[in-house]
Amino acid sequence: MVSIKDVAKTAGVSPQTVSNYINNPGIVKPNTREIVARAIESLGYIPNASARRLRMRRSNTIAIGIAPVNYSRVYDRLLHALVTEADAHGIRVILYKIDSKRDEIRQFASLTAGSDVDAFVLTDTTHDDPRIGWLNEHQQTFVLFGRPWGVPDMYDVRIPWVDVDGRNGVSNMVRYLILHGRKNIGFIGWPDFSGTGMDRYLGWKETMLEARMVPESELNDLHIATEDTLNDGRRACVSLLARRPDIDAIVCVSDTIATGAVMALPSGSNVVATGFDNTMSSQSLGFSTIDQPLQACAKEIVRIIQEELGTIVAEEGDNDGKHMLLAPSIVIR
Amino acid sequence: MVSIKDVAKTAGVSPQTVSNYINNPGIVKPNTREIVARAIESLGYIPNASARRLRMRRSNTIAIGIAPVNYSRVYDRLLHALVTEADAHGIRVILYKIDSKRDEIRQFASLTAGSDVDAFVLTDTTHDDPRIGWLNEHQQTFVLFGRPWGVPDMYDVRIPWVDVDGRNGVSNMVRYLILHGRKNIGFIGWPDFSGTGMDRYLGWKETMLEARMVPESELNDLHIATEDTLNDGRRACVSLLARRPDIDAIVCVSDTIATGAVMALPSGSNVVATGFDNTMSSQSLGFSTIDQPLQACAKEIVRIIQEELGTIVAEEGDNDGKHMLLAPSIVIR
């Protein structure tokens, strides 16, 4: 087994210089780097990554939970983007299984016990998310994908997050519909007025009121809430049209619900339905939708982690750089 | 920092026993385990995982490549299943980015250099896959998801694989259609007669010949090949029906092509189209399809890895246990 000392001897430098070359090449002069690199190559020296990590006390690894079944296409898209972005910065991504938020905390404990992970990426944020408290208490670095709904201060520097501005996306979709002659625009949302659902609902409500499309008293008539399945979307669409036959557009909180709604529309109907997430369904059925900028999200997540770990220095800016709300785009079909 | 010696002292056992407790608890008596566990807890001892790995020369980590964009829903489903299955065996899953097969070999080199990874799971197998040679040459443990198309002996014990029997799935779909009165059953396949595409094509061809639905000379008329996009599926469906207006069913090599075909069918048409992969599109458009047993695949992949690493002992059986072809199911809608 070739050791660091063998490399130092061959290169004619000190073992410390070889160690610097491996762990912190920036502080080694270019000429010396060249000489050490050649010695490493000629001897076939392989720095053991586990050993290196022990010395560095940094794993260059981030962890993200993954559910047993892929409920959300957005999650899958984010994961692909995240690994690509992390790889560009020499960071590895490790996956841990999550069945529930409680299960996730058990995984935190196990992954941090061995200093195997530098930081966590949390998805599927909910009200009073127990994970945030645990990670802060244990001084672990993390970034949320999604906002920390329900915390007293959403811009708390100890809770960095990256999210997509769903309210803005829905608002832009409603504006587009109004500017293209639609007047009685309904909304199918989720029953749980959770953070994300409420956010998208407000995007519809505020834009409708702003444009004075209907009196505020009629808004309730145009809104219905349902679970996120095709069949529920189908039923919600039928109910909404029965209640208000004058509806000419339906903005849906998700592509799944929009797919059900599109399928429920009578053939030849002039009503348009729109979705959220730009899935294959919206492409195949040809309805308009809202697309989340997941590569940009992955970029911000990795940047924040690096800043939190001190790997890179935060740029000065108006924003504190720890709370990034990115605008989605509307996709018109 | 609490050391293993402190734990040994508190527990009144030798440091070796504590080490055994951590690395190989099975060989420590239950009573002793209890005592050591209590000492570890009272002292707050944390075995450093990196240090443990150095001692064990095993990382309990498997790696799987992930593309920057999720082209394949099957990949995403497998990944969720794989992490769940691995977690049940205390194995972690690390992701590495892949842009190409060449890029993947670069990642192998980096991940194996530090003995950070025990085994690789390879997806998207192709003819003359360069990855297999590299891994065998470097004595790395791996399992393919997909068959090693083009190798001289597909049942070579040095090339373990798990795959889904697409030929069997398509054959069962064609049989179902025949048993439900369809006669002129067309097939839209992929132009590249790659392993997977050829396999599914043969499932259609053989079943049609076996049932003597059409003379062999007419089979070419009923078959068309196209790229895997909605629009290509649409065009292929139109061409096929123009060529053979008597077609009453179209079996497609993928759900994407089937979605295009379904959309291209004239309204009121009695022709049915079927897909492959049981995606959201097949659910929303309501066409029949073929479902891959990805959880079962993940189970076999993890089992083979454990057997290859010697973590578990292979069961005796007719099959060598290293080449698993699992049957898909047909989903009738």
Average pLDDT score, chain A: 89
* Mean pLDDT, range A170-185, rounded to an integer: 97
| Res. A279: pLDDT tops 90 | no
The pLDDT assigned to B23 comes to 66
Grade residue A204 by pLDDT with cuts at 50, 70 and 90: very high
Instruction: Tell me which residue in B51, B68, B84 faces A54 most closely, judged by beta carbons.
Output: B51
User: Over the stretch B245-282, which tens digit does the pLDDT of each residue have?
Assistant: 999 999 999 999 999 999 899 888 999 999 999 988 88
Q: What is the three-class DSSP state of B261?
A: helix
Grade residue A233 by pLDDT with cuts at 50, 70 and 90: very high
Q: Are B308 and B128 in contact (CB under 8 A)?
A: no
Q: Name the segment(s) of chain B with CATH classification 1.10.260.40.
A: 4-47
| Chain A residues within 8 A of B294 when measuring between CB atoms | none
Q: Are B117 and B59 in contact (CB under 8 A)?
A: yes
A129 sits in the region (left: phi over 0; alpha: psi -120 to 50; else beta) called beta
CB contact under 8 A, A46 and B81: no
Residue type, A133: G
* Greater pLDDT, A215 or A73: A215
Q: What is the three-class DSSP state of A64?
A: strand
CB contact under 8 A, B53 and A50: yes
Pairing mode, if any, of strands A329-331 and A289-291? antiparallel
| Chain A residues within 8 A of B281 when measuring between CB atoms | 280-281, 284
DSSP codes joined into one string, A88-121: HTT-EEEEEE-SSHHHHHHHHHHHHHTT--SEEE
* Mean pLDDT, range A1-25, rounded to an integer: 81
User: Over the stretch A235-266, which tens digit does the pLDDT of each residue have?
Assistant: 999 999 999 999 999 999 999 999 999 989 98
Q: With the C-alpha atoms ordered B279, B297, B60, A54, is the resulting torsion angle positive or negative?
A: negative
Min distance B210 CA to chain A CA atoms (Å): 35
| Res. A26: pLDDT tops 70 | no
Is the interface score ipTM higher than 0.85? Answer: no
Q: Give domain B4-47's CATH number out of 1.10.260.40, 3.30.230.10, 3.40.140.10, 3.30.200.20.
A: 1.10.260.40
Q: What kind and span of H or E run contains A224?
A: strand A223-225
Highest mean pLDDT of the ranges A8-17, A217-226, B226-235: A217-226
Instruction: Tell me which residue in A80, A95, A279 faces B83 most closely, judged by beta carbons.
Output: A95
> How far apart, in Å, are the Cα atoms of A242 and each of A12, A224, A232, A246, A265?
85, 12, 15, 9, 11
Q: What is the three-class DSSP state of A161?
A: strand
Q: Give domain B166-291's CATH number out of 3.30.930.10, 3.90.1170.50, 3.40.50.300, 3.40.50.2300.
A: 3.40.50.2300
Residues of chain B with pLDDT under 50: 53-55
% of chain A at pLDDT higher than 90? 61
* Greater pLDDT, A26 or A223: A223
Rounded CA-CA distance B290/B327 in Å is 10
Grade residue A333 by pLDDT with cuts at 50, 70 and 90: very high
| Chain A residues within 8 A of B81 when measuring between CB atoms | 68
Grade residue A195 by pLDDT with cuts at 50, 70 and 90: confident
Nearest CA among B62, B139, B116, B96 for reference residue A51: B116
Min distance B249 CA to chain A CA atoms (Å): 20
Residue type, A71: Y
| Res. A34: pLDDT tops 80 | yes
Residue type, A248: D
Residue to substitute from B95, B124, B259, interface A, most A β-carbons within 10 A:
B95
Residue to substitute from A83, A117, A252, interface B, most B β-carbons within 10 A:
A83
Nearest CA among B110, B114, B116, B142 for reference residue B129: B142
DSSP codes joined into one string, A15-60: HHHHHHHHH-GGGS-HHHHHHHHHHHHHHT----HHHHHHHHT---
| Res. A228: pLDDT tops 60 | yes
Q: Are A250 and A272 in contact (CB under 8 A)?
A: yes
| Chain B residues within 8 A of A268 when measuring between CB atoms | none
Min distance B82 CA to chain A CA atoms (Å): 8
Q: What is the three-class DSSP state of B180?
A: coil
Whether the CB of A56 is below 8 Å from some CB of chain B: the reply is no
Rounded CA-CA distance B327/B164 in Å is 6
Q: What kind and span of H or E run contains B174?
A: helix B166-179
The pLDDT assigned to B7 comes to 87
Q: Where are the beta strands (DSSP E) in chain B?
A: 61-66, 92-97, 119-122, 141-145, 161-164, 185-189, 223-225, 249-252, 272-274, 289-291, 323-326, 329-331
Min distance A212 CA to chain B CA atoms (Å): 35
Q: Which residues share a beta bridge with B272?
A: B249
| Chain A residues within 8 A of B51 when measuring between CB atoms | 54
% of chain A at pLDDT higher than 70? 93
* Side-chain-side CA neighbours of residue B264 (13 Å): 21
Residue B182 tokens, joined:
């369809």
Residue A46 tokens, joined:
């392989």
Residue type, A60: N
Q: Which CATH architecture has domain A61-165+295-326?
A: 3-Layer(aba) Sandwich (3.40)
Q: Are B264 and B233 in contact (CB under 8 A)?
A: yes
The pLDDT assigned to B106 comes to 86
* Mean pLDDT, range A315-324, rounded to an integer: 80
Q: Are A213 and A183 in contact (CB under 8 A)?
A: yes
CB contact under 8 A, B70 and A80: yes
Q: Are B118 and B61 in contact (CB under 8 A)?
A: yes
The pLDDT assigned to A51 comes to 55
Instruction: Tell me which residue in A46, A80, A94 faces B94 most closely, judged by beta carbons.
Output: A94
Nearest CA among A242, A298, A283 for reference residue A80: A298
Q: Which residues share a beta bridge with A249?
A: A185, A272
Contacts of A321 (CB under 8 A, 6+ apart): A303, A304, A307, A314, A315
The pLDDT assigned to B26 comes to 66
Q: Name the segment(s) of chain B with CATH classification 3.40.50.2300.
A: 61-165+295-326, 166-291
- Residues 68-97 of chain A with CB under 8 A from chain B are 68-70, 76-77, 79-81, 83-84, 86-87, 92-97
Rounded CA-CA distance A265/A261 in Å is 6
- Residues 109-148 of chain B with CB under 8 A from chain A are 113-116
Nearest CA among B299, B328, B292, B325 for reference residue B148: B325
Q: Which residues share a beta bridge with B331?
A: B289
Grade residue A1 by pLDDT with cuts at 50, 70 and 90: low
* Greater pLDDT, A21 or A162: A162
Rounded CA-CA distance A55/B20 in Å is 25
Residue B51 tokens, joined:
């240090």
| Chain A residues within 8 A of B61 when measuring between CB atoms | 94
User: Over the stretch A86-120, which tens digit does the pLDDT of each residue have?
Assistant: 999 989 999 999 987 777 888 898 888 766 899 99
